[in-house]
Structure 1
Amino acid sequence: MAHPVPSDPPETGIASGRGRTRYEDDLYTWAREQVALLRARRFAEIDVDLVAEELEDLSRHEFSKLCSALRVIVMHMLKWDQQSEHRTASWIYSIREQRRRLDRLLRESPGLKPRLDEALADIYPDARDWAADETHLPPDEFPAACPYAWDEIRERPFDLDSVKK
């Protein structure tokens, strides 16, 4: 998407020569100033190291969102399989919501797809512990490794008729 080269936002101080906001003092204003410099093609004035660091943080944040959605899905699947007598509709709704988030994230950031196996390996111990805590069962009552394939995590149906009423 092409962006027009805007004049410097008045709050940044770039146009007025007031000096730039320090990253340490105000991340929001600093980021807006860096964007204005990029769009104005004033590359020599950009704080390259900090911009690179922020972009790295952004990619870590996207991976974290992937892990978060997966953790919730897998935790509920483990509970579903382990305690059929305690199933609730809220587990199904939570799985659905996290699947939507996962799908949206993978649509918006397809570069995360090669990291799906890594994410699943990262989250499984936490999902297992969380399921154990919520079911009041020892962790060794759950599989040591994730028992679910990707297709199952993303598409396995859960039936509202099988929940305890």
Structure 2
Amino acid sequence: MTVFVALLRAVNVGGTGVLPMKVLSAHCTELGFERVRTYIQSGNVVFESAGDENEVRRLLADSLADLMGKPIGVAVRNAAALAAVLEANPFPDAPPAQVAVAFHHAALPRTLLDGFSTPGGEEVRLGQRELYVHYPNGMGRSRLKLPLPPGEVTVRNINTVSKLVALAGD
């Protein structure tokens, strides 16, 4: 069994995509995932599965689309891959609440940031399937528009990533 972390896009944000975490947890258990646990109310779920990452993501995305009546973006990482995302944070000295990670399910093009500029002093670095952003004035004040595929990316701050890494290690 492999420990996975699934990050759902646009769940319980701004009154859209309401999905209580108890419902998400029960749904994941019904899918056959084991040791299911959620973290905060924004679509973070940790579980174990015998499937591979692509199977798990497809199963969860398809079943959530049925449950919610619309597509739900899902990024999945195994525990080691999520720990590697945290370790690769290119802004380790920045306050964790000011560093965000945009998660995508597939590799991002190496040319993604070519010609890209930031309007407010933000710093952006490309990972493998992630984009790291340092928001020195806070995410809420930024007018930064990331050049990412619409609807397929979900963002978590480093504090949340750290908590999920710890939860996946339990």
Interval containing the TM-score (normalised by the shorter chain): under 0.3
- TM-score, normalised to structure 1, is 0.27
The structure having more radius of gyration, on CA atoms, is 1
- TM-score, normalised to structure 2, is 0.27
